[in-house]
């Protein structure tokens, strides 16, 4: 109870001192006003008129300018108005972003051989950047500098299987393999990526010594003949000339 009293008393005292301060302020203002009025009375009427007119011009003009500027700017940048400049300035900011993918056809200016190969085969119509990624920086780099090769990588199997791994929904007309059952190691070991054509028979990836005959594991059905080109093999001697590492005929 006494704590509450103390607080109440303190609040009352604060209030009364605030009242005192307000009273003093008011008195000071009144004195100032009286002084101003006394001074005004001593000024000649013509000077008074001139001063009043000048003051009115300055204050009125400034207010008018402020209103015009404020209203105009509010309208111009209002987020709620179709006519505001906000969409336009922002759209320009979006438009000013830098691309990372080069325009189609840029690559062929330097890489005409690869582009030409691709244009004549089943990969025709696929742009370079589909597999190679964004190449604008590469195309803009000055020849011989480190920027030319910065971030460049030979596409891996990951890129090939995106299209060629069989999956529900892919059209029959698209060449599809089951990667686990295809002769898979590196797609590029056998396929020319630009034409898509298999350029050599798949090489044997395991050791060739001390093994039973090839047909022990690889029956005629074992590695399915792609394109039905492969005859059934009865004899090891017929396998290895083509399939031993590095012995495949180049580019069929």
- The contact set with another protein (CB under 8 A) reads 2-3, 5-6, 9-11, 13-14, 16-17, 20-21, 24-25, 73-74, 77, 79-80, 85-87, 89-101, 103-104, 123, 125-127, 129-130, 133-134, 161-163, 165-171, 174, 178
Min dist. Cβ of residue 207 to another protein (A)? 32
Min dist. Cβ of residue 202 to another protein (A)? 22
Q: Given the complex with another protein, which of 160 and 233 has the nearer CB atom?
A: 160
Q: Given the complex with another protein, which of 111 and 218 has the nearer CB atom?
A: 111
Min dist. Cβ of residue 173 to another protein (A)? 10
Min dist. Cβ of residue 66 to another protein (A)? 12
Phi-psi region of 204 (alpha: psi -120 to 50; beta: other; left: phi over 0): beta
Taking the C-alpha atoms of residue 138 and residue 140, their distance in angstroms, rounded to an integer, is 5
Q: Given the complex with another protein, which of 57 and 120 has the nearer CB atom?
A: 120
Residues 6 or more apart whose CB falls under 8 angstroms from that of 32 comprise none
For residues 164 and 174, the answer to whether their CB atoms sit within 8 Å is: yes
Q: Given the complex with another protein, which of 30 and 205 has the nearer CB atom?
A: 30
């Amino acid at each position: 109870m006494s704590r509450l009293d103390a607080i109440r008393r303190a609040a009352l005292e604060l209030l009364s001192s605030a009242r005192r301060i307000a009273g003093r302020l008011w008195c000071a203002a009144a004195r100032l006003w009286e002084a101003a009025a006394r001074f005004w009375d001593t000024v000649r009427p013509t000077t008074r008129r001139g001063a009043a007119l000048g003051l009115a011009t300055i204050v009125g003009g400034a207010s008018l300018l402020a209103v015009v500027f404020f209203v105009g700017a509010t309208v111009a940048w209002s987020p709620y108005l179709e006519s505001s400049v906000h969409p336009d300035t922002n759209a320009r900011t979006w438009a000013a972003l830098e691309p990372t993918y080069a325009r189609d056809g840029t690559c062929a200016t330097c890489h005409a051989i690869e582009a030409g190969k691709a244009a004549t085969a089943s990969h025709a119509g696929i742009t370079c950047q589909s597999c190679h990624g964004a190449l604008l920086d590469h195309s803009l780099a000055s020849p011989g500098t480190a920027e030319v090769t910065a971030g460049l990588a030979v596409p891996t199997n990951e890129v090939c299987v995106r299209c060629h791994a069989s999956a529900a929904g892919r059209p029959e007309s698209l060449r599809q393999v089951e990667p686990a059952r295809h002769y898979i190691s590196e797609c590029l070991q056998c396929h020319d990526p630009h034409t898509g054509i298999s350029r050599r028979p798949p090489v044997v990836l395991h050791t060739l010594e001390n093994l039973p005959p090839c047909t022990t594991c690889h029956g005629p059905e074992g590695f399915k003949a792609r394109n039905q080109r492969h005859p059934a093999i009865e004899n090891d001697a017929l396998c290895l000339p083509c399939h031993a590492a590095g012995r495949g005929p180049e580019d069929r």
